[in-house]
Structure 1
Amino acid sequence: MSQYPALAGVHVLGAVQPGYETILTPPALAFVAQLHRMYETTRRSLLTARMQHQAWYNQGGEIDFAGEMSSVRADPNWKVRPAPADLTDRRVEITGPCDRKMVINALNSGAKCFMACLEDASAPTWDVMVQGQVNLRDAAAGTITLEDKGKSYALNAQTAVLIARPRGWHLDEAHMTVDGERVSGAIFDFGLYMFHNAKALIARGSGPYFYLPKLEHYLEARLWNNIFITAQSMLDLPLGTIRATVLIETLPGAFMAEEILYELRDHITALNCGRWDYIFSYIKTFQNDASKLLPDRAAVTMTVPFMAKYAAHVVRTCHKRGAHAMGGMSAFIPVKDDEAANEKAYSAVRADKEREATLGHDGTWVAHPGLVGVARDVFDRLMPGPNQLHVIPAGSATAADLITPPQGPRTLAGLTNNINVGIGYIAAWLRGQGAVPLHNLMEDAATAEISRTQLWQWKKAGASLDSGEKVDADLINRVTDEQLAVWKAQVGDNFFAGGKYTEAAEVFRTLTLADKLEPFLTVPAYEHYFAR
């Protein structure tokens, strides 16, 4: 444990490796501590409210648009603040973790923006989080370089706009405490990035831009807005310097999309369709409702009715209020030395991006530099201007539009894939990786969340597969054992001991077979593996 003499009550519990002292400076830690002291009580109360809302849904309570905010939705006069110049055209954004090579390659990828993820694409180890801040500090300054295996990496003259994604409200940072309390992971990530980089980014013609994950209520957006106001005041920056994009990646958040824009109207530029977490949130919200079972994960595409309605709802809501509507991630990635597989991946990405551009999205996400050009070509062809704020999809979304599940197969192959990918992803996460290529798809934490919650819900409901097999503990245990053996055969005995596959299988098995659905697998896994 280290305590900074000038900072009463502030302790850093993680090891301070060489270079970390440039991030964990007394002024930066004081900045984070002040935000914590002002807003931690509110964060805790909002997390309690989440649990109460979930208890309501579990008891059969309905989800709907917020009645108390109907006047905000009905008022045609308010708009969000116009986007700054470097966020006016966001036709292709690349996302990924904050390791040094990824940061350089993403900024050089030709994408308009790089969403540097300290959340679901990063395993929240102490070293990953602090080294990520080092890398983003150097990127914001334009000085980031790397020598690796005889190759030199540096930034091009023209780079993507940097946007940071801090952790969600539900995650703590166990390695920093203030007055004996853990600091929120969100405030830790935001505070350090804001303190070190806001003025450097402004000096280079950009600004402190953020992606905000996993919001479930407009009051959670209000908390972020208050933090933004305070942070700007502490750094002597004008109101509206910070700009945020909110991921609409929870079902409750989709019902409050317009209110989220309203709460952040001085600081928000866009909403994003976070499709994979959205599916996870749908399952979690309706965990006790046997009438809301989804088919195999692969069958829940953006073209099924409730997902298509959700995307149209986000575009309509954004453009009505002058905000951009960002499309979601296509998980396909290029396959090295396999032309046929690559063309299949490129075709899938083109179709996905054509759907988004035609609907009215102002840009989209890709997970690999090799797909930037594919997505850009589609948006260049279908969106000749910098955005499509003038396109407002007809109609309006009803509650039934957003919650009616699609029909589709429920197969042993789908169950097996959930378990295989769940084990593979969790193993990588336990090794410190947050974004992982599995079976030619780029997966992050949402993948494992969908996989384990879907099987939990199928088991809870006593569902049967199309083949007639009942989804119960015996079936899940059997297939988990089989897929652990598959991974062992694939990676080999020498790697298996350090690969964390056995631990991953037990994490997956324990959470899937538990009587109570854990809201996020990353919370108990963090406590067990990373919080020490």
Structure 2
Amino acid sequence: MLTLRGVDVEPPPIGLQLEFQTLFTPEALQFLHDLCSTFQPEVDRILKLRVLKKVQLDLTGELPDFRADTAHIRNNPTWRVSPVPQRLRCRHVDIGDLAPCDTQCLIQGLRSKAQGLQVDFDDGNCPTYHNQIKGIYNVYQAVHNLFHDAPPISQAPVLMLRPRAWNMVEHNMMVNGRQVPGPLFDFGLLMFHNAKLLLENQSGPFFYLSKVESHLEAKLWNQIFLWTEGKLGLPVGSVKATVLIECVLASFEMEEILYELREHSAGLNCGIWDYSASFVNKLGHRAEFLLPDRSKYVNMEKRFLRSYMDLLVQTCHRRGALATGGMAALLLPGDRQSDLYKTVVTTVTRLKLLEIQAGVDGFMVYDLDLIEPMQNLFRAYSQGENQLQQLRDDITVTPEDLLTMPAGGVTLYGLRYNIAVGVLFINAWLSGRGHFFYKGQVEDSATAEISRSQVWQWIRHQVKLEDDGRSVTRWLVRSLTQGLMVDLRAASCQTQRDEERLTTAMSIFLEVVQKSDFPEFLTTYLYLDHTFLSSQSTHEPSRSLIWICSSERSLRICRLSLSHFRAFL
């Protein structure tokens, strides 16, 4: 362990000595120490306020609403966010879910014709120590033009850096005896090593902020930006950030979030699955917030999601900020002449045209082959580099609009699909991957969240299947999960180690969806409460096993055979 001025850092993973030495210089460690020491108390406070808000909703039975104490911000028509830099004004199509530790995918993204790259340390990434160091170092290489087969940073698609959200910590670094917040670890290293060069090349530093739940959290980020700009000698407003509105509570504070970040705002982003899952997280124990089968009844045309997107566009454009939509997760088949290829293009076009017509200024795709057709779609149905002129004064969004669940039930197909996505995501996570491919599209923690959330909620409310009237019970979910394992093994297992890992993933999934209390974030649950740490400690397997067997879940986990642990070592 490397110790310097109150900072304890684990040694580098095998094979990453150069990357470690480049990133963890004495100056960088001092910067991280100062950053974390300054803001750890406020991070603790906002996490406690999240808990308090949930308790208040549960105890009072109240519904989310627009805040009375911040009405003056919403009612003041004069304020605007600072204008975004030139390179952010036209971002019709970004590449999303790009795990930065995947060097070849990052280089392909840099060479693409996309306007931006969502360099994702959050949803599309599994935050092993190896992945974080490799990913941050890859960004360093891109910014410093060290990739010989990629364009210079001033000519490449602009990097939109997405650090982890506040629910994540970094196990491998401690400051003043505490594990540091994951987002401060990511943000601090990215800024320290890249900010000045990005600014000199008019290419950043630009960020996505995940899972912000209130304007107070936006205020904290703004304070972090101001402190960092001062510490690194950057002009105020150099950092620009797009906030992902992924929580139903945040949808009632969009204007306040923009206001708090007005010097540093690049706009807001709307997406479907994390946002939908937040209803289960915050309100899912209430029968009136039962979310029907997402495979059949949940899409951006439904009232609660369409209202959320309309309000986001209206709010952003009213304040001079950019509004971006979600990601097209579908993958194009290789045969461009096939009927399936045409169907995928038609489906993506219809969904993204809906967003363009709502007034969004851009959205994301995963498949690089979708970049050009989606850019053409933007050019055909919008004018100029963005749609800021669409003020959407034609709409008025009420709390009822935002909180009305779509009608519909649950199908056997939808239940099985959610189970498969949940199990396969946990399996990917335990393999060190933050996303995977299933049934023609990319799946990540966002789709895993909605999948496990729906299964938990359907069990909780004992909903009946449309197919045959059976109730969704723990027994039924266990039976379906075990039945699916045959197909999942055939599709994803090549070795005994793969089978053992998948079996463990199934056990963890069943534990999560059968819990009495809803685990707030699946990734936090996996990151803190299970075998994640042992999957990183390949240099000390015995210590990893001891850690697992001394955890809170020792009785359950230690009943697993030693062969299960070999899947993670």
| TM bracket, shorter-chain basis | over 0.9
For the pair 1:97 / 2:99, whether they are aligned, the reply is: yes
RMSD of aligned alpha carbons: 1.5
Deviation digits for residues 63-116 of structure 1, max 9, x if unmatched?
Answer: 111111000000011000001010011111111111211111112221111110
For the pair 1:178 / 2:181, whether they are aligned, the reply is: no
* Residues 427-506 of structure 1: pairs in structure 2 closer than 5 A: 427-466=427-466, 467-492=468-493, 494=495, 497=498, 500-506=501-507
Match of 2:309 in 1: 311
Match of 2:294 in 1: 297
- Answer yes or no: is the 8 Å Cα contact 1:58–1:289 preserved in 2: no
Match of 1:323 in 2: 321
Name the SS for the 1:154 alignment partner: coil
For the pair 1:168 / 2:168, whether they are aligned, the reply is: no
Inter-partner Cα distance in structure 2 for 1:418 and 1:215: 25
Inter-partner Cα distance in structure 2 for 1:337 and 1:423: 30
Deviation digits for residues 312-331 of structure 1, max 9, x if unmatched?
Answer: 00000000000000011121
Match of 1:8 in 2: 5
- Answer yes or no: is the 8 Å Cα contact 1:140–1:162 preserved in 2: no
Inter-partner Cα distance in structure 2 for 1:446 and 1:57: 24
* Residues 15-414 of structure 1: pairs in structure 2 closer than 5 A: 15-16=12-13, 17-19=16-18, 20-59=20-59, 60-95=61-96, 96-98=98-100, 99-145=102-148, 153-155=149-151, 158-298=155-295, 299-337=297-335, 339-393=338-392, 394-414=394-414
Structure 2 unaligned blocks of 5 or more: 535-569
Inter-partner Cα distance in structure 2 for 1:453 and 1:439: 20
Name the SS for the 1:94 alignment partner: strand
- Answer yes or no: is the 8 Å Cα contact 2:328–2:348 preserved in 1: yes
- Answer yes or no: is the 8 Å Cα contact 1:431–1:499 preserved in 2: no
Deviation digits for residues 182-234 of structure 1, max 9, x if unmatched?
Answer: 10000000000000001111222222100000000100000000000000000
CA positional deviation for 1:142: 2.3
Inter-partner Cα distance in structure 1 for 2:182 and 2:499: 27
Name the SS for the 2:208 alignment partner: strand
Q: 1:23 to 1:395 in 2, by over 3 A?
A: same
CA positional deviation for 1:497: 3.1
- Answer yes or no: is the 8 Å Cα contact 1:114–1:163 preserved in 2: yes
| Range with bigger deviation, 135-144 or 499-508 | 499-508
Query: Letter of the aligned partner of 2:157 in structure 1?
Result: A
Give the count of matched residue pairs.
522
Q: 1:350 to 1:294 in 2, by over 3 A?
A: same
Q: 1:492 to 1:164 in 2, by over 3 A?
A: closer
- Answer yes or no: is the 8 Å Cα contact 2:330–2:441 preserved in 1: yes
Q: 1:437 to 1:14 in 2, by over 3 A?
A: farther
Q: Which runs of 4+ in 1 moved over 6 A?
A: none
Inter-partner Cα distance in structure 2 for 1:24 and 1:54: 38
CA positional deviation for 1:15: 2.7
Inter-partner Cα distance in structure 2 for 1:68 and 1:128: 42
Inter-partner Cα distance in structure 2 for 1:64 and 1:408: 25
Inter-partner Cα distance in structure 2 for 1:486 and 1:125: 28
Q: Percent identity?
A: 37
Inter-partner Cα distance in structure 2 for 1:379 and 1:337: 25
Inter-partner Cα distance in structure 1 for 2:321 and 2:36: 29
Query: Letter of the aligned partner of 2:136 in structure 1?
Result: Q
Inter-partner Cα distance in structure 2 for 1:492 and 1:184: 34
- Answer yes or no: is the 8 Å Cα contact 1:126–1:530 preserved in 2: no
Name the SS for the 1:531 alignment partner: helix
Inter-partner Cα distance in structure 1 for 2:109 and 2:252: 33
Inter-partner Cα distance in structure 2 for 1:341 and 1:41: 53
Q: 1:499 to 1:163 in 2, by over 3 A?
A: farther
TM-score, normalised by the number of residues in structure 1: 0.95
Match of 1:425 in 2: 425
Inter-partner Cα distance in structure 1 for 2:234 and 2:269: 26
Deviation digits for residues 380-407 of structure 1, max 9, x if unmatched?
Answer: 1112201111102222211110010001
| Range with bigger deviation, 45-54 or 207-216 | 45-54
Inter-partner Cα distance in structure 2 for 1:297 and 1:455: 11
Inter-partner Cα distance in structure 1 for 2:381 and 2:145: 33
Name the SS for the 1:67 alignment partner: coil
Q: 1:121 to 1:72 in 2, by over 3 A?
A: same
Name the SS for the 1:227 alignment partner: helix
Inter-partner Cα distance in structure 2 for 1:27 and 1:448: 38
CA positional deviation for 1:489: 2.6
Q: 1:523 to 1:42 in 2, by over 3 A?
A: same
Q: 1:462 to 1:74 in 2, by over 3 A?
A: same
Query: Letter of the aligned partner of 2:151 in structure 1?
Result: L
Query: Letter of the aligned partner of 1:72 in structure 2?
Result: I
CA positional deviation for 1:123: 0.3
- Answer yes or no: is the 8 Å Cα contact 1:175–1:531 preserved in 2: no
Query: Letter of the aligned partner of 1:88 in structure 2?
Result: R
Inter-partner Cα distance in structure 2 for 1:164 and 1:301: 27
TM-score, normalised by the number of residues in structure 2: 0.89
Deviation digits for residues 160-193 of structure 1, max 9, x if unmatched?
Answer: 0111000001100010000110100000000000
Name the SS for the 1:437 alignment partner: strand
Query: Letter of the aligned partner of 2:201 in structure 1?
Result: R
Query: Letter of the aligned partner of 2:55 in structure 1?
Result: A
Inter-partner Cα distance in structure 1 for 2:497 and 2:486: 11
Match of 1:531 in 2: 533
Query: Letter of the aligned partner of 2:463 in structure 1?
Result: A
Deviation digits for residues 249-271 of structure 1, max 9, x if unmatched?
Answer: 11111111110000000000110
Deviation digits for residues 473-507 of structure 1, max 9, x if unmatched?
Answer: 10111111111222113334526636721121111
CA positional deviation for 1:14: 4.6
- Answer yes or no: is the 8 Å Cα contact 2:5–2:30 preserved in 1: no
CA positional deviation for 1:61: 2.2
Inter-partner Cα distance in structure 2 for 1:290 and 1:369: 41
Structure 1 unaligned blocks of 5 or more: 146-152
| Range with bigger deviation, 462-471 or 35-44 | 462-471
| Range with bigger deviation, 329-338 or 382-391 | 329-338
Query: Letter of the aligned partner of 2:137 in structure 1?
Result: V
- Answer yes or no: is the 8 Å Cα contact 2:169–2:179 preserved in 1: yes
Higher relative contact order, structure no. (Cα contacts within 8 Å, ≥ 6 residues apart): 1
